[in-house]
Amino acid sequence: MNIGTVAERANLPAKTIRFYEDIELVKPARLKNGYRDYTEVDMHRLRFLQRARSLGFTIEECRLLLSLYEDKNRASADVKAIALGKIKEIERKISELKSLKTTLKDLADHCHGDHRPNCPIIDDLVSGGNSK
Partner DNA sequence: CCTTGACCTTCCAGTGGGTGGAACCCCTAT
Partner DNA sequence: ATAGGGGTTCCACCCACTGGAAGGTCAAGG
Residues that bind a second copy (CB under 8 A): 44, 47-48, 51-52, 54-56, 65, 68-69, 71-77, 79-81, 83-84, 86-87, 90-91, 93-94, 97-98, 100-101, 103-105, 107-108, 111-122, 124-126, 128-129, 132
- Say which residues have a Cβ less than 8 Å from residue 14's Cβ, sequence separation at least 6: 3, 4, 7
Q: How far apart are CA 122 and CA 8, in angstroms?
A: 47
Stretch of residues binding DNA (CB under 7 A), selected from 3-11, 80-88, 107-115, 124-132? 3-11
Listed ranges 34-42, 79-87, 96-104, 116-124: which one lies at the site for DNA (CB under 7 A): 34-42
- 100 phi-psi bin (left φ>0, alpha ψ -120 to 50, beta other): alpha
Q: Least CB distance from residue 32 to a second copy, whole Å?
A: 32
Strands, E assignment, 14-108 = 29-30, 36-37
Three-state DSSP class for 76? helix
Q: Which parts of this chain interact with DNA (CB under 7 A)?
A: 2-5, 7, 13-16, 18-19, 32-36, 53, 58-60
